[in-house]
Amino acid sequence: MPKQGLIRLSLSVSFTIPRITATDSEAELLVAFLGRENIHVGNVGSDKDKAGKVIRLFPDGKEIKQNLVYPKPNESELRLYLSERAGFKPTANSIWFMFVRDSELWIGSMPEAQWRDENIIIVYDETENIFQDSLLELDAIKLNKLKARDVFARDRNLALERIRIERYLCEYNEGVNKTV
């Protein structure tokens, strides 16, 4: 089965009754993974074995059992009941997520700030040092004070160094040669 997953922000209102009404991508993920025929129709108490689903808890992989049912026959509403006693109930205003990994269903949650910190994508830019160096050069730029306005002083050596760094090519149109 291909890797699938989703995230959702927990709202404090949704946890006064400890359940998630699975809609759209949540329902698709659960039905695709478990199969519609393996999801109990009716209340949890009428078939606890079929309602109980083994799910791995992120990040440690502990097996927990949560109830998943179609509570009303002939309707598409799918409910996942959460239980702190059974091992999973996200706190209000946290991010909860569900995914399939190695043919197993996983669920987890974390505070929004932690989610954002752990999911920052860092991209290394090979030219970053050139950009940072150019910022430092701004401190060395001299200003000529004129009566009407300030003018940046030209520095021939700095200009020649920048042209050398750019390999004598225009940064906007590499077809233009800047030989001095």
Q: Burial-class residue 136 by CB neighbours within 10 Å (0-12, 13-18, 19+).
A: exposed
Does residue 27 contact residue 76 with C-beta atoms inside 8 Å? yes
Summarize pLDDT for 11-64 with one digit per residue, the tens: 444 455 678 888 878 888 899 999 999 999 999 999 999 999 999 999 899 999
List, for the chain, all residue ranges whose pLDDT scores fall below the cut of 70.
Answer: 1-17, 121-125, 135, 137-153, 170-180
Looking at the chain, which residues constitute the CATH 2.40.330.10 domain(s)?
Answer: 4-118
Alpha-carbon distance 29 to 35, whole Å?
10
The CATH homologous superfamily to which domain 4-118 belongs is DNA-binding pseudobarrel domain (2.40.330.10)
Q: At what angle do helices 128-140 and 156-165 cross, to 10 degrees?
A: 180
pTM: 0.60
